[in-house]
Amino acid sequence: MLTDRKIHIVFISAFSLCLAYGCWLYVSHFVIDGHYKKLSLRHLIQPSRISGPYEAELSRTLSRDQHWSLHGLAYLKHKFLKTGITSKVLIGQDDWLFLQEEDGRKVLHQSLRIYRYTPLELRSWCLNIRQRNFWAHKYGIDYVLAIAPNKASIYPEYLPERFHSPTRSRSLDQLIADLPDITIIDLTDSIRNRKSQGLLYYPTDTHWNATGAYWGYRALMQRLPPPYATTPLSRTELYIRDSMQRNGDLNRMALAISDRREKVDYPVPVSTRTQSREEKAESAGVSINTQVFTQADTSLARVVFDHDSYLKDFEPLFAEHFSESTFLWGFQDFHADLIRRKQVDLVVDEFVERALIGPTPRNEWPVIQEFWAEHFDTLAPFIQLDDLSFPELIPALQKLDLPTDRIAVLRIHSKPRETDKLVIDYGTEQGYYWLREEGDVYYLEYDSKQVQNFRVENQTPHTIKVEVRLY
């Protein structure tokens, strides 16, 4: 007969075995920023640096290697409790899977219209997009922000029955309302209105399928500003070049709890006028792979699509409408340096809906500098700090009573004794900017939650003057 003491011993033993197994996985599959690295004490002291990349890599590895214990637990939770093994994936009706959370972003709350921007978040996102728009127009480039909807925003009827249909306005509507002077193409209604045309998203993946992507392509091409708007290709002008079966990304995150494999089609024009090539390029010192399409009709515009994975497999459709199309694949990125060198007429900055919440991405250095060189003097003065060194700047800023709903913008007057490199520590990453010996003015946006330190690489002592204003 099992006594309470024996039951406790069994439970503690089972828990200890699971904990030991998890520790082994942590060490044996250790990754940071998507790359395998040797585990060190520094990583254990700062686990926040690796938790996101580690979890993503762990899910991918476990899905591939089929670890029976965790897969068995995931299957049992799905079969009997209708819940996933990870909080990132929500199991809906008819075994549809939805992304619930991603790197701290409350994706499902966004689609259910529970999430709202705080005043500072809204101000920060609007500033980021205004900087991109300003920079593009300065170089004679038209700027368009295109937004692909979350799956839950299109198919809320497949969410669990406990979720009510959203009724109030979206956080995305907050953003659009605060940017009336910027061309924003929100594809949500265009996609939702095509649900009668067939399934538009994969049930076990975050992405739209070929049908959904086609209607997104049509809506985007029709709604571009003049002179770029045009008649898109009809479905009869396309054929499926390749098809494949694969696990959806949500199914992989949930450790393959579903036996369903998604059929992935790759549509291309039946008769194409373009030629394509891959190019390695660089933007602000970062190497990136690009896909470039060209055609003989030079009367058409030149375009850059700075996009995420939602447009990745459908580039040939867009390329038919431009003399040269360059596709840059990234998440929340804006490759200003490369866009300027391409001398294009139009840049389409595409985001999936969920990418427009959470921490705001930092724009490239030239975008920030050129925007504030034009707009800094329009801000009301807050305080001026004289005779500081860069290491003294953070402590001085921390002593200020900065408003929590405003962005502190710094104008730094610096004249080092020799050319030096300014290093800004952002917690999980660093930014590097050159300080010229002849002296110059630099603009920085200070966020006390992200910026941890300013320092110069050569440690050449020199004083700086800092003007602080609030946006």
**Would you state the pLDDT for residue 39?**
46
Residue type, 440: D
What are the distances in angstroms from CA 375 to CA 67, 342, 470? 56, 26, 12
> Where in the chain are the domains?
119-144+164-197+204-241+264-356, 379-470
**Would you state the pLDDT for residue 187?**
97
Cα 107 from Cα 116, distance rounded (Å): 12
Q: Which residues of the chain have pLDDT under 70?
A: 1-2, 4, 22-82, 84-85, 256-259, 427-428, 438, 459-460
**Would you state the pLDDT for residue 26?**
55
**Would you state the pLDDT for residue 258?**
65
Closest CA to 328 of 308, 352, 355, 356: 308
Cα 387 from Cα 324, distance rounded (Å): 51
**Would you state the pLDDT for residue 56?**
53
Residue type, 129: I
**Would you state the pLDDT for residue 352?**
97
Q: Are 55 and 252 in contact (CB under 8 A)?
A: no
List, for residues 100-141, the tens digit of each pLDDT value. Answer: 998 889 999 999 999 999 999 999 999 999 999 999 999 999
CB atoms within 10 A of CB 421: 13
**Would you state the pLDDT for residue 45?**
46
Residue type, 55: E
Q: Are 299 and 228 in contact (CB under 8 A)?
A: no
**Would you state the pLDDT for residue 32?**
38
Q: Are 154 and 195 in contact (CB under 8 A)?
A: yes
Return the C-alpha torsion angle 324, 179, 314, 319, nearest 10: -20
379-470 CATH fold: Jelly Rolls (2.60.120)
List, for residues 254-274, the tens digit of each pLDDT value. Answer: 776 666 788 888 899 999 999
Note the helical H segments in 171-242: 171-177, 188-192, 210-223
DSSP assignment of 360-373, as one string? PPPPPHHHHHHHHH
Q: Which residues pair with 281 in a beta bridge?
A: 288
Cα 115 from Cα 108, distance rounded (Å): 9
Query: What is the pTM (predicted TM-score) of this model?
Result: 0.84
